[in-house]
Amino acid sequence: MKKNIAVIRGDGIGPQIINEAIKVLKKIAEVFNHEFEYSFACVGGEAIDKFGEPLPQSELKKCLEADSVLLGAVGGNKWNDVPPDKRPEKALLKLRQAMGVYSNNRPAKIWRQLSDSSPLKKEIVDKGIDFIIVRELTGGIYFGEHSTKEQNGQRIATDILTYSEKEIERIGRIAFETAQKRGGKLCSVEKSNVLDSSRLWKKVMHELSKEYCDVELSDMLVDNCAMQIVKDPSQFDVIVTENMFGDILSDEASMITGSIGMIPSSSLGSTKRGLYEPIHGSAPDIAGQNKANPIGTILSAAMMLKYSFNMEKEAEAIEKAVEAVLDENYRTADIFIKENEELKLVSCSEMGSLIANRI
Ligand code: IPM
Ligand code: MG
């Protein structure tokens, strides 16, 4: 099969982790007889330096014309003082919006080999961690009006949070369908004791639940959910929540599985064309040191094969290769435990090669 993949290397550790994902995809193409063409798009801080804006039209076009988009990470301290509308992160938001990828899927699953890396107590980890956060990605406070003004000698900043029932319904459907394919349990997370947008969220989820009788729907307030994720993560199967709550809870959920560096994500809308990215950021503190963990990006590439290209076997081959390398005790710095003499510390590029070699 021939596929065109738009690749955004991005900033910080972005180029390194993307190199490793491409190494793995090249191996997949070879072994399974596919042809992957890459068109590299310059987006984020790199684009600000080169074009004066984070998402130039020409680069967005490459993404919209591709079969799917694979992204490393964007942002860094260097661009902290650029105007809000020109920040590297803005490129990511505009890209998500332009691609129409409203549904962000973030798995939190403990790898048995990494259970010692979880900051949670062993007895909690042993009960199992395997859930998915379905995060609404193109609405809410991220996309409301933002403004800062001066009034009576003081600065006042405003960010508006809006959700329409259509936006809630479409993400709700994805979440119910995800739960149907998994354990049949869906937890809708909101702040309905305070926010109108959350009260509407909760109502729409309950209206929808009448169409999905095989899914058990529950509600949880977001503050309680943050607590439950560390107290007893085994209770969750699928969580559905709005954009900002999903951003926060997915970082928390990733940490309890050992390292944020391990977690991939897929973002999809109404077509097969998706945006695939690890959930971590550009980690400028370790950029250029060949230390980053490329597994989150490599697993994102696997998700792309599975969800956008219907290449189940190929995706599984990547997951198995990651499993094998972890079984053989290879670890990047974020998942390395010094006191464990069996573990072997490897660089970002070594980890990529080890995985590619096992496909
Ligand atoms: C994420 C990131 C982004 C977000 C940032 C970089 C804009 O934190 O993908 O979780 O908040 O969505
Ligand atoms: Mg985030």
Note whether 45 and 81 are within 8 A (CB).
no
Q: Which of 101, 245, 247, 249 to mutate to test the pocket of ligand 1 (most atoms within 8 A of CB)?
A: 247
228 and 128, same structural domain? Answer: yes
- What is the end-to-end Cα distance of the chain in Å, rounded? 18
Residue 113: inside a domain: no
CA 88-94-100 angle, to 5 degrees, is 145
Using the mean position of ligand 2's atoms as its centre, give its distance from the Cα of residue 60 in Å: 22
Ligand with minimal distance to 264 CA: 1
236 and 177, same structural domain? Answer: yes
pLDDT under 70: residue ranges of the chain: none
Residue 129: inside a domain: yes
- Our answer on whether the CB atom of 279 is closer than 6 Å to any ligand 1 atom is yes
Using the mean position of ligand 1's atoms as its centre, give its distance from the Cα of residue 178 in Å: 22
The residues placing their C-beta within 5 Å of ligand 2, an ion, are: 247
CB atoms within 10 A of CB 291: 18
In this structure, the dihedral spanned by the alpha carbons of residues 43, 45, 46 and 48, taken in order and rounded to 10 degrees, is 90
270 and 318, same structural domain? Answer: yes
Residue 262, pLDDT score: 94
Q: Which of 79, 92, 248 to mutate to test the pocket of ligand 1 (most atoms within 8 A of CB)?
A: 92
Using the mean position of ligand 2's atoms as its centre, give its distance from the Cα of residue 81 in Å: 20
- Our answer on whether the CB atom of 216 is closer than 6 Å to any ligand 1 atom is no
- Our answer on whether the CB atom of 69 is closer than 6 Å to any ligand 1 atom is no
Q: What is 189-230 written as a DSSP string?
A: EE-TTT-HHHHHHHHHHHHHHTT-TTSEEEEEEHHHHHHHHH
Q: Dmax over Cα atoms in the chain, in whole Å?
A: 67
For the annotated catalytic residues, the residue numbers are 142, 191, 223, 247, 251
Residue 338's CATH number: 3.40.718.10
Distances, alpha carbon 352 to alpha carbons 39, 104, 331, 346, in Å: 21, 25, 11, 10
Residue 258, pLDDT score: 87
Residue 85: inside a domain: yes
269 and 147, same structural domain? Answer: no
193 and 275, same structural domain? Answer: no
Ligand with minimal distance to 101 CA: 1
- Our answer on whether the CB atom of 247 is closer than 6 Å to any ligand 1 atom is yes
- Our answer on whether the CB atom of 89 is closer than 6 Å to any ligand 1 atom is yes
Residue 142, pLDDT score: 97
User: What atom in ligand 1 is closest to the CA of residue 277?
Assistant: 9
Closest by CA to 191, choosing from 204, 183, 200, is 200
Q: Tokens in use for 162?
A: 């809006």
232 and 166, same structural domain? Answer: yes
Residue 319: inside a domain: yes
Residue 85, pLDDT score: 85
Residue 84, pLDDT score: 85
Return the axis-axis angle of helices 348-357 and 295-307, rounded to nearest 10°: 40
CA 340-345-348 angle, to 5 degrees, is 145
173 and 149, same structural domain? Answer: yes
- Strands 154-159 and 2-10, by their bridges, are unpaired
Distances, alpha carbon 40 to alpha carbons 7, 10, 61, 74, in Å: 5, 10, 11, 14
123 and 226, same structural domain? Answer: yes
User: What atom in ligand 1 is closest to the CA of residue 75?
Assistant: 6
User: What atom in ligand 1 is closest to the CA of residue 104?
Assistant: 9
Using the mean position of ligand 1's atoms as its centre, give its distance from the Cα of residue 344 in Å: 31
Residue 114: inside a domain: no
User: What atom in ligand 1 is closest to the CA of residue 93?
Assistant: 7
For 347, phi then psi, to 5°, come to: -85, 175
- Our answer on whether the CB atom of 167 is closer than 6 Å to any ligand 1 atom is no
The SS3 of residue 101 is: coil
* Residue 30 domain boundaries: 1-102+260-359
Q: How many domains does the chain have?
A: 2
Ligand with minimal distance to 252 CA: 2
**Alpha carbon 212 to chain centroid distance?**
26
Question: pTM of the predicted model, to two decimals?
Answer: 0.93
Rg of the chain, C-alpha, whole Å: 20
